[in-house]
Amino acid sequence: MTDHPLNTKGLQCPLPVLRARKAIKAIAIGDTLTVEATDPGARKDFPAFCEATGNRLLSVVEEEGILRFVIERAA
Protein backbone atom coordinates (compact mmCIF):
# COMPACT_ATOMS: atom_id res chain seq x y z
CA MET A 1 0.00 0.00 0.00
CA THR A 2 1.32 3.42 -0.99
CA ASP A 3 0.21 6.77 0.40
CA HIS A 4 -0.29 9.70 -1.97
CA PRO A 5 -0.36 13.21 -0.44
CA LEU A 6 -2.69 15.92 -1.74
CA ASN A 7 -2.35 19.50 -0.52
CA THR A 8 -5.60 21.47 -0.84
CA LYS A 9 -4.78 24.01 1.88
CA GLY A 10 -6.20 27.43 1.06
CA LEU A 11 -8.79 26.08 -1.37
CA GLN A 12 -12.50 26.50 -0.72
CA CYS A 13 -15.42 24.17 -1.43
CA PRO A 14 -15.83 22.45 -3.83
CA LEU A 15 -12.17 22.46 -4.96
CA PRO A 16 -10.71 20.15 -2.26
CA VAL A 17 -13.21 17.39 -3.09
CA LEU A 18 -12.85 17.90 -6.84
CA ARG A 19 -9.06 17.60 -6.60
CA ALA A 20 -9.41 14.53 -4.39
CA ARG A 21 -11.82 12.92 -6.87
CA LYS A 22 -9.28 13.37 -9.67
CA ALA A 23 -6.34 12.20 -7.53
CA ILE A 24 -8.05 9.08 -6.20
CA LYS A 25 -8.84 7.89 -9.72
CA ALA A 26 -5.10 7.96 -10.49
CA ILE A 27 -4.03 5.68 -7.62
CA ALA A 28 -4.28 1.91 -7.26
CA ILE A 29 -7.05 0.17 -5.32
CA GLY A 30 -5.77 -0.33 -1.77
CA ASP A 31 -3.54 2.76 -1.85
CA THR A 32 -4.35 5.74 0.33
CA LEU A 33 -4.79 9.42 -0.42
CA THR A 34 -3.91 11.81 2.40
CA VAL A 35 -5.66 15.13 1.84
CA GLU A 36 -4.69 18.24 3.81
CA ALA A 37 -7.34 20.97 3.82
CA THR A 38 -8.07 24.21 5.63
CA ASP A 39 -11.68 24.69 4.48
CA PRO A 40 -13.93 24.02 7.53
CA GLY A 41 -16.57 22.59 5.17
CA ALA A 42 -14.21 19.75 4.30
CA ARG A 43 -15.09 18.11 7.64
CA LYS A 44 -18.55 17.32 6.18
CA ASP A 45 -17.56 17.10 2.51
CA PHE A 46 -15.03 14.27 2.71
CA PRO A 47 -17.19 11.76 4.61
CA ALA A 48 -19.97 12.41 2.07
CA PHE A 49 -17.47 12.07 -0.80
CA CYS A 50 -16.28 8.69 0.51
CA GLU A 51 -19.81 7.43 0.99
CA ALA A 52 -20.83 8.51 -2.50
CA THR A 53 -17.75 7.01 -4.20
CA GLY A 54 -17.43 3.79 -2.19
CA ASN A 55 -13.99 4.65 -0.83
CA ARG A 56 -13.05 4.29 2.85
CA LEU A 57 -12.37 7.24 5.12
CA LEU A 58 -9.73 5.80 7.45
CA SER A 59 -9.08 8.84 9.64
CA VAL A 60 -9.72 12.52 10.19
CA VAL A 61 -7.27 14.54 12.26
CA GLU A 62 -7.11 18.28 12.88
CA GLU A 63 -3.81 19.88 13.89
CA GLU A 64 -3.20 23.63 14.05
CA GLY A 65 -6.17 24.39 11.78
CA ILE A 66 -5.24 21.80 9.14
CA LEU A 67 -7.63 18.93 8.52
CA ARG A 68 -5.99 15.69 7.39
CA PHE A 69 -8.15 13.01 5.76
CA VAL A 70 -6.78 9.56 4.96
CA ILE A 71 -8.87 7.86 2.28
CA GLU A 72 -8.33 4.33 1.03
CA ARG A 73 -9.27 3.70 -2.57
CA ALA A 74 -11.72 0.81 -2.53
CA ALA A 75 -13.54 1.33 -5.81
Active centre residues (catalytic): 13
Of 39, 20, 32, the residue nearest 71 (C-alpha): 32
Helical packing angle, 42-53 and 15-25, nearest 10°: 30
Asked if residue 14 has a cis previous peptide bond (ω within 30° of 0), the answer is yes
Q: Are 55 and 28 in contact (CB under 8 A)?
A: no
